[in-house]
């Protein structure tokens, strides 16, 4: 055998008294397979529930729904590539794979880095567009511009990260083959920058709905319920911080494959969590559906009973406003109002209901029946545009 054959030379000199093992080396594959299987199963449940709700209950998909489906497809693709390359060397110590194998590992590692930004962008935009639909109105106030700014910043940021990974070297073959002539950008700067920008994005996506919920004119109990829905994103923030640390470890320690495997395990978990956060606001409809409400919400009678104690009929608008800041009179309901059942917003868009209920009930029976019919119609329309 030729000792200079790249198929026999370890990709890294083994430390101390350790010897390269190309046959049965230590591996992180059990961790890779177990983590990927569990998080993909959880994500599939939430995304399937969202698809069922949008297809069979509300019968309406918004842009955030399609972005969520796209992100989930990206997560599945990333997990598939991760398991494939992990089994072929990434999940081993670098001294337990050959130089030829290491080149193959570097190629698929770059593929994973290139798939990550568009997948996370779709997942983040799904959450942000949903926040925009839930918390903003036709009035372009501070809340509206905060969400729009966040959407634009995330779009620019993740495109920058994607291009930095895609064109890390030119020609691209130099990324995995150091013998090729070409130029490369600083890998350290690229990965540090990507990790820091991702952490900023995670914290922004977490704090934005918290800030909006805090300014809603709602009882604290209902605010806490809404906080709980979006607080799952705090896990993604923690993972992003750990990801920055592991990026630093990868650049400082020579065992690239072993540390990178741990990093990609966290990355898969992070992507799944962001996708799940976007699915949470839809789940109450599924709860009501299985409780015997075909429309995925309580009946109009139940909703009216809930409103009876809080709705001020002397005011054309409900005292609970949907948006942050001064109230604006809305004569007609928004056609794109959120269907999510967070019970964050309750308002009446029909001033005539309040006027009608001030009428003297001692009027003729025919007028009374007519009034009841009118109120019932308005009640149905209101329930269709309330965020319960």
pLDDT value of residue 296: 58
pLDDT tens-digit series, residues 322-345: 444 444 444 444 444 555 434 444
Q: Look at phi and psi of residue 18 and say left if phi exceeds 0, alpha if psi is from -120 to 50, else beta.
A: beta
Write down all domains in the chain, each with its CATH number in brackets. Answer: 29-288 (1.20.1070), 298-385 (no CATH)
Write out the two tokens for 168.
């890390």
Q: Which residues pair with 92 in a beta bridge?
A: 27
- Walk along the chain (388 residues) in steps of 10 and give the mean pLDDT of each run: 65 90 94 97 96 91 95 97 96 94 95 95 94 83 90 94 92 92 84 84 86 82 78 81 80 86 93 92 84 63 45 38 42 46 40 40 46 45 42
So what's the pLDDT on residue 2?
52
Looking at residue 88, what is its pLDDT? Answer: 93
Looking at residue 377, what is its pLDDT?
A: 45
Position 194 scores a pLDDT of: 83
Residue 101's pLDDT is what? Answer: 94
What residues form DSSP beta bridges with 183?
170
Cα–Cα distance for residue pair 270/248, rounded to 1 Å: 18
Indicate the pTM of the whole model: 0.74
The pLDDT of residue 212 is 85
Name all contacts of 58-66 with Cβ < 8 Å and 24+ positions apart.
58/285, 58/296, 58/339, 60/339, 62/129, 62/130, 62/133, 62/336, 63/129, 64/125, 64/126, 64/127, 64/129, 64/130, 64/133, 64/278, 65/126
pLDDT at 6: 56
pLDDT the model gives residue 28: 97
């Amino acid at each position: 055998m030729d000792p200079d054959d790249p198929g026999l030379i370890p990709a890294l000199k083994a430390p101390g008294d350790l010897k390269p093992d190309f046959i049965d080396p230590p591996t992180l594959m059990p961790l890779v397979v177990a983590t990927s299987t569990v998080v993909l199963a959880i994500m599939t449940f939430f995304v399937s529930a969202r698809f069922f709700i949008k297809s069979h209950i509300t019968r309406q998909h918004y842009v955030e729904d399609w972005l969520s489906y796209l992100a989930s497809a990206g997560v599945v693709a990333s997990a598939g590539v991760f398991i494939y390359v992990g089994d072929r060397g990434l999940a081993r110590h670098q001294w337990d794979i050959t130089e030829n194998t290491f080149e193959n590992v570097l190629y698929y590692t770059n593929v994973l880095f290139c798939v990550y930004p568009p997948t996370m962008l779709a997942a983040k935009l799904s959450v942000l567009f949903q926040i925009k639909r839930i918390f903003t109105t036709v009035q372009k106030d501070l809340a509206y511009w905060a969400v729009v700014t966040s959407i634009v910043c995330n779009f620019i940021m993740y495109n920058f990260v994607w291009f930095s990974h895609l064109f890390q070297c030119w020609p691209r073959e130099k990324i995995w083959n150091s013998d090729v002539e070409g130029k490369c950008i600083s890998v350290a700067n690229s990965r540090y920058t990507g990790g820091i920008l991702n952490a900023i994005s995670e914290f922004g996506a977490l704090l934005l709905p918290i800030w909006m919920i805090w300014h809603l004119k709602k009882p604290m109990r209902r605010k806490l319920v809404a906080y709980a829905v979006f607080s799952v994103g705090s896990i993604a923030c923690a993972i992003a911080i750990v990801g920055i640390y592991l990026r630093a470890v990868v650049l400082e320690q020579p065992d690239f494959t072993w540390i990178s495997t741990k990093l990609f395990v966290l990355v898969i978990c992070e992507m799944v969590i962001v996708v799940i956060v976007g699915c949470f606001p839809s789940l109450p409809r599924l709860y009501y559906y299985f409780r015997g409400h075909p429309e995925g919400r309580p009946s109009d009678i139940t909703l009216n009973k809930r409103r009876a104690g809080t709705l001020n009929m002397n005011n054309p608008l409900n005292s609970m406003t949907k948006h942050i800041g001064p109230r604006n009179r809305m004569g007609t309901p928004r056609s794109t109002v959120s269907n999510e059942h967070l019970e964050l917003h309750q308002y009446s868009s029909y001033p005539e209901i309040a006027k009608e209920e001030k009428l003297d009930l001692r009027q003729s029976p025919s007028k009374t029946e007519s009034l009841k019919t009118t109120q019932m119609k308005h009640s149905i329309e209101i329930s269709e545009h309330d965020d319960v």
